[in-house]
Chains A and B, each alone.
Chain A
Amino acid sequence: MVQELGYLKETPSQTAGPYVHIGLTPNYSEIVGVYEADLGSTMVNDKTLGERITITGRVIDGAGAPVRDAVLEIWQADSAGLYNSPSELRGTADPNFAGWGRCPTNSADGVFRFETIKPGRAPFKDGRKMAPHITFWIVARGINIGLHTRMYFPEETAANAEDPLLARIEHKDRVATMIGVKEGSIYTFDVHLQGDKETVFLDI
């Protein structure tokens, strides 16, 4: 017998279910008075550095219908490309920007909306710069394990062309599924769970 590695197994995921809002956004779910505000509902304040942007969109199921009971979380660098995390060793991120936000898709029209800033570029593992991007994590009824993806910026043509993650997408017509649509300061990012327009999801 060889030695045992002794690793534990990761706790298996389960769906967040249709009532995920009770736990993650109780005020949105009309459970008022337990928490002052829903965590992650405000990402910027007056002092946050960087270009203010809005990211909005919907999560679309395999029949083309909007998912109206999802919760999305985003995680991103500050305007200088630094993450507000103890694991960030390259410098200190903007203290007025947490870098994390959470938003339910609206129960009527399925739209989510984040008011944030455009992130700077952060390095890939080998030091090459990644294009500016925002990490998305999506949970909902019917989703057994949270889905990771990224939104990139359409005006960053040169940076996107050299991005190490986008370069890994074998079918180039799918790159567009990770790029938002810009209109002024508003980016629309529709996430397609399934079908012809299926978004590239990550195992990362």
Chain B
Amino acid sequence: MSDRSNSKPETGAFFARDRAWHPPAFSPGYKTSVLRSPQRALLSLDGTISEITGPVFGHSILNELDNDLIHNFARAGESAIGERIIVHGRVLDERGRPVPGVLLEFWQANAGGRYRHKKETYLAAIDPNFGGCGRAITDDEGRYAFRTIRPGAYPWPNGVNDWRPAHIHFSVFGHGFAQRLITQMYFEGDPMIWKCPIVGTIPDKQAVEQLIAPLDWGNTIPMDARAYKFDIVLRGRRSTLFENRLEGN
């Protein structure tokens, strides 16, 4: 946090969420949402200290291979099978400011579309050298990066013949618990994106496009791995210049 060490932490409440940009809770094309969506209106309230604060994790929680899914579950000297890629990007807030020091967690299927999970029954093979989880903490400029195998598409019991596009799940913390976000990253050019009922829960095409990572040829490492760029935007927060201080009164 070198360039910000003299500035006070931001404590303003967050911009209201644009819930027309996010998917609605009830989206019957994604069948499981039917019984898992609240029917009553949400209770809206400007953020209190319980939401504008949030947990912050130090780099000490990270192991050396946490951001290397090709190797963090592999046997010594071996590596996961599939297309080697680097995924990198920045975490910004809605004001365009980098969000440093925040934890990102990723999970995904292997190259054949098979998850390492006891509830998963897809007949594609498990890769003995691929676990499918990783994590990273953003640097002072909000940057993160990890390397992995490009995941495969996989079928799921929704419609008779529904398949998920290749995707990587992201869990992101911000500086306040109200910024907590889970989303999915898709890959540029995948024709499956526009057929997917889960993607289709998002009403706005531009919002969907915000989840599609472009191929980043410039950062591709020759003879090693291609790169994809995926920037993540968290809620911005107001200045507290003209607001009651929380510690006041």
Contacts and interface: CB of A to CB of B under 8 A. Distances in A.
Interface string B100-133: 0000011110000001111110000000000111
B117 to A, nearest CB: 5
Closest 5 CB pairs between A and B? A127-B249, A23-B107, A142-B32, A142-B36, A85-B53
Interface in B3-20: 8-11, 13, 15-19
Contacts of A148: 51, 178
Interface stretch (B23-31, B136-144, B220-228): B23-31
Given A34-B133, A168-B45, A144 B30 contact: yes
Interface string A121-133: 0111111001001
B53 A193 contact: no
B248 interface: yes
Given A10-B21, A23-B105, A35 B66 contact: yes
Contact of B94 (A8, A86, A141): A8
Contacts of A67: 36
A107 interface: yes
Given A69-B119, A202-B43, A204-B51, A12 B11 contact: no
A67 B36 CA distance: 9
Nearest to B109: A19
Nearest to A133: B50
Contacts of B202: 12, 14
Contacts of A15: 30, 33, 182, 184, 198, 201
Interface string B159-191: 000000000010100011110111110000000
A35 B169 CA distance: 18
Contacts of A168: 43, 45
Given A12-B23, A26-B131, A202-B43, A194 B35 contact: yes
Contact of B177 (A12, A20, A135, A200): A135
Interface-centre pick from A15, A24, A146, A202 (highest chain B CB count, 10 A) = A15
Given A144-B33, A202-B43, A83 B53 contact: yes
B204 to A, nearest CB: 8
B61 interface: yes
Interface residues of B, number: 101
Nearest to B203: A12
Contacts of A16: 169, 171, 182
A9 interface: yes
A100 B55 contact: yes
A133 B50 CA distance: 9
Contact of A23 (B44, B169, B210): B169
B18 to A, nearest CB: 7
Contact of B45 (A13, A20, A139, A203): A203
Nearest to B178: A204
A46 interface: no
A21 interface: yes
B232 interface: yes
B43 A169 contact: yes
Contact of B17 (A29, A36, A98, A203): A203
B116 A87 contact: no
A75 B246 contact: no
A23 B210 CA distance: 22
Contact of B22 (A13, A125, A139, A174): A13
Given A10-B234, A14-B23, A135 B51 contact: yes
29 contacts: A7-B94, A11-B210, A11-B234, A12-B23, A12-B183, A13-B22, A14-B182, A20-B182, A22-B131, A23-B132, A31-B133, A34-B65, A62-B35, A83-B49, A83-B50, A87-B54, A125-B13, A142-B31, A142-B33, A144-B33, A144-B201, A145-B23, A165-B43, A165-B45, A165-B48, A201-B40, A202-B42, A203-B42, A204-B178
A194 B38 contact: yes
